[in-house]
Amino acid sequence: MKNLTLENITKVCGGVYFGPADKLDQEVSSITTDSRKIEAGSLFVPIVGERVDAHKFIPQVMEAGALATLSERTLENADFPYIKVKSSLQAVKDIAEFYLKQLQIPVVGITGSVGKTSTKEVIASVLKEKYRTLKTQGNFNNELGLPLTVFRLRDEDEIAVLEMGISDFGEMTRLAKIARPDTCVITNIGPCHLENLGDRDGVLKAKTEIFKYLKKDGHIVLNGDDDKLCTVKEYEGIKPVFFGMEADKDIYADEIVSRGLKGMTCRIHVGGESFVTDIPMPGRHMVYNALAATAVGRIYGLTLEQIRHGIETLEAISGRFHMIETDRFLIVDDCYNANPMSMKASLDVLKDGAGRRVAILGDMGELGENEVQLHAEVGEHAAQCGIDVCICTGALSANIAKEARKNPQLTVIEEPDRDSLLAHLDSYVKTGDTILVKASHFMQFEKVVAKLQEM
Ligand code: ATP
Ligand code: MG
C-alpha cells in the first residue's frame, strides 16, 4: 500500500514502534481488522469490541504471515514488529486519512438520511463506464467502515465512491476529514437518528458537516426537492447542483413511468440535452438516485450514453429491494433496514405487485421520542396506498396496525415478535402473493425472507 511503511504508520497514528529497525521501511500489503483475512505482509488492527477483544488473535495473525500488528497494550516477549497505540479505532482513522492523501484519487462522498447505499450503487455503476471505480462494500459507512473501505483502494483505482453514515453531531466532520471528498452528494434529510439530532434541522446541520473538508474546487450535489436541502444556497463559493422532478432543477426527470416491480422509465434532462432510461429497480426514489448519478457522471466527464448505460446495468443487492422469485411468491427482500421514509417508499412500490400484495413490516428503531407517531404515520400510509395485507410485528408496529385498520378493505394482522411471526407465517401467505419484507436491522427479518424462500 502506497507509502504505508511501518515507519509512516507509526508516525501518523502517534504510536510507538517495537521491533527490528530494518522492517521500518517496509510497506504493508493490506490492513485488516479481521484475523481470518490476514495475507502475507498485512497489518492487523485488533479492535476491542463489546464481546471480543481481538488482541487475542495477535499470535495467530503473526503466524499467518502478517508483517506487523497494532496493539493497545505492551506485548511481553513479542518476537514480531508491533506498533503500540492508544486506540486502534483512532489509529485506523488516522492511517486512512494519510493513505487517501497518498493516493490522490478523486472521492465522491455520499450521505443523507435514506438511500445512501442505493445512490452509491447507481453512482458507482455509472462511473465504472469510464473509470476504474472502487465503492463502499455493503454498508461500511461509519467510523470503522469508512477507513476499511479506504484500505481497499489501490494506486490503479481512478475514483472512489464512499458512503458516509452518521447518527450524531461531529461524526460527519470526522468522516469527512478522512474522505476529503471532491464531490459531496446528499440524498435527503429525513426524520432519522432524532434521539441525537433532535429534529430535521439538526439532521441537516449534522449531514452538511460533510462540506467542511470539501476540496476547494469541489462539487456539491443535492436533492432539490427536499425542503431542507433546497435551502443550501452555496458553501464557500461552491453552488450546489440540484436535482429533482421539476424543470427548474439543474438536472431533472419527467415522463416518469413505473414498469411495476421491474423498474422505472424516465427522461432525464441535463444542460439542454436529455435521454430516456430504464432504471432496473422499482420505486420513484430510484429516479432520484439515478438523477444523483447523472449529476456525478456529468461532473466527471461521462457522456449521456455512458450515464444511461451505467444506470441500466445497475445490479440489485441483498436486503435492499432485492427481488426473489420462488415457486410460490415474489419476495421483495427489503429487510436490511427501515425508517419512516423508506417504509412509505417501499409500500408505494409494493402496490404495483401482482397477486395479493402483502407487507410484512416490523419495528423501526432509533426514532426518538416521536417513535409512536412515526409508526402511526406508516400505518396511515399503508391504509391508503392500495395493498391487500399488512402484517405488523413488534410492540411499536402495533401503532402501524392501529392506523392501518382504518381501511376496512385491508387485512391487518398483528404479531408480538419475529419468532411468533415465523411460527404463523404459513397461514398468512398464499401462492401467487407479492410479499414485501421490511423492518429495522435489529428485527433480523432476513430470517423471515429465509423462511419464505423455504416455503
Ligand atoms: P443506512 O442508513 O442503513 O445505510 P441507506 O441510507 O444506505 O441506509 P438504502 O439502504 O440505500 O439507505 O435504502 C434503504 C431503503 O430506502 C431502500 O430499500 C429503499 O426502499 C429506500 N430508498 C432508496 N433510495 C431512496 C431515496 N432516494 N429516497 C427514499 N427512499 C429511498
Ligand atoms: Mg447504507
- The predicted-structure confidence for 18-73, as pLDDT tens digits, reads as follows 999 999 999 999 999 999 999 999 999 999 988 999 999 999 999 999 999 999 99
The ligand 1 atom at the shortest distance from the C-alpha of residue 112 is 6
The ligand 1 atom at the shortest distance from the C-alpha of residue 192 is 2
Instruction: Kindly state if the Cβ of 226 falls inside 6 Å of ligand 1.
Output: no
Question: In the Cβ-directed half-sphere of 253, how many Cα atoms lie within 13 Å?
Answer: 27
Q: How far is the CA of 136 from the centre of ligand 2 (A)?
A: 9
- Could you tell me which residues are beta bridge partners of residue 269? 252, 274
Residue 205 pLDDT > 90: yes
Q: How far is the CA of 348 from the centre of ligand 1 (A)?
A: 14
Residue 139 pLDDT > 90: no
Rounded to whole angstroms, the Cα distance separating 233 from 44 reads: 44
What's the distance, CA 201 to chain centroid? 21
pTM of the model: 0.85
318 is in an annotated binding site: no
205 is in an annotated binding site: no
Rounded to whole angstroms, the Cα distance separating 150 from 170 reads: 20
As for the ipTM of the complex, it is 0.99
pLDDT the model gives residue 352: 86
118 is in an annotated binding site: yes
117 is in an annotated binding site: yes
Q: How far is the CA of 444 from the centre of ligand 2 (A)?
A: 16
- Could you tell me which residues are beta bridge partners of residue 250? none
- The predicted-structure confidence for 405-445, as pLDDT tens digits, reads as follows 999 999 999 999 999 999 999 999 999 999 999 999 999 99
Rounded to whole angstroms, the Cα distance separating 424 from 103 reads: 54
Nearest to 351 by CA among 384, 321, 380, 386: 386
pLDDT the model gives residue 232: 96
Q: For residue 313, how many other CB atoms are within 10 A of its CB?
A: 12
Q: Is the dihedral of CA 374, 375, 380, 386 positive or negative?
A: positive
The letter for the amino acid at 425 is L
Q: Ligand 1: which of 118, 321, 361, 381 to mutate, most ligand atoms within 8 Å of CB?
A: 118
- The predicted-structure confidence for 179-199, as pLDDT tens digits, reads as follows 999 999 999 999 888 889 989
Q: How far is the CA of 40 from the centre of ligand 1 (A)?
A: 38
